[in-house]
Amino acid sequence: MNRKLVTAVGVALLVGLAGCSGLAGSTGSTGVDAGDESALDRNIEVTAEGEATAEPDRATISVAVTATGNDSAAVRDELAAGGDDLEAALTEWGLDEDDIRTEQYDVRESYETRDDPERTEYQGVHRYAISFDDVDAVGEVIDVAVDAGADEVQRIEFGLSEEREREVREIAIENAMANAEDDATVLANSSGLELAGAYSVSTANAGVTPYRVSDAAMAAESDGADAGAATGVETGDVSVQVSVNVVYAAEQV
């Protein structure tokens, strides 16, 4: 190759590399200097809880129809008849069929007679969960269920509808964020730092604690001592809890 051509190519290559080097240098000058500490390297991370309460607007009652006998088919028939009577009474009172759902259905040989072939007995239970919005009518619904043949009232629980739960959860999140900022401020003041805003927020655990009537599991006597009296049930607030993780940027004071 011609010596002059080789020299020209070499000079052009050097100029090109120099240009690239200059471009890289200009890009670096507009970014964060690697020698400086990034604000993201000075941060405060906290986890905080928030809670909010509200009066319930949803109730769930667990009732059961039970049956015993020495023939499993007869027990099943008795459960079916009792369940039909219960559902008919509740829907006649005003509940929808969707408000009444099966929680448990079980027919099995009794433990007491399992080892005694001459005395076989079967026990059956059909447990229903009855849910509705009128929390003031809980006692009345219990009376309807018991009068229709429910043998046990096993649980009374007060909760929130989906819409109301979302509203209360928002308040719980606001309370959790306020608690997080309080904790982060204390940490910053103790470390010679100052908060410069949150740049990472996430929710962790969230839950609802319904109000449950204590000692709700009871045998329901259809011929109670005071047959004319309506059952009265006291309600209580429902609690919604939320946990948040927040990372705050911090600046040196």
The series of mean pLDDT values per 10 residues for the chain, 253 residues long, is: 37 34 33 43 91 97 94 95 97 96 93 69 95 94 95 94 96 97 95 91 91 59 49 90 95 87
List Cα–Cα distances, 167 to 9, 55, 161, 211, in angstroms. 73, 12, 10, 18
CA distance 198 to 200: 6
**HEC letters along 5-55:** HHHHHHHHHHHHHHHHHHHHHHHHHHCCCCCCCCHHHCEEEEEEEEEEEEC
CA distance 60 to 128: 10
CA distance 130 to 128: 6
CA distance 187 to 173: 21
Please give the pLDDT value at position 171: 97
Please give the pLDDT value at position 113: 65
Give exposure, 192-219, as e/b (b: 16+ Cβ within 10 Å). ebebeebeeeeeeeeeeebbebeeeeee
Domain identity same for 144 and 194:
no
Pairing of strands 218-219, 43-54: unpaired
CA distance 179 to 244: 10
Please give the pLDDT value at position 234: 84
- Residue 216, domain member (yes or no): no
Please give the pLDDT value at position 18: 36
Cβ neighbours for 96, distance < 8 A, ≥ 6 positions apart:
none
Please give the pLDDT value at position 40: 52
- Residue 109, domain member (yes or no): yes
- Residue 9, domain member (yes or no): no
Domain identity same for 92 and 120:
yes
Domain identity same for 75 and 48:
no
Domain identity same for 48 and 71:
no
CA distance 138 to 118: 44
Fill in the DSSP letter of residue 135: G
Please give the pLDDT value at position 253: 83
- Residue 236, domain member (yes or no): no
Q: How many domains does the chain have?
A: 2
Please give the pLDDT value at position 114: 64
Domain identity same for 82 and 125:
yes
Does the reported pTM lie above 0.75?
no
- Residue 154, domain member (yes or no): yes
CA atoms within 13 A on the CB side of 218: 13
For 142, the domain range is: 58-159
Rounded to 10 deg, the angle between the 138-147 and 72-93 helix axes is 140
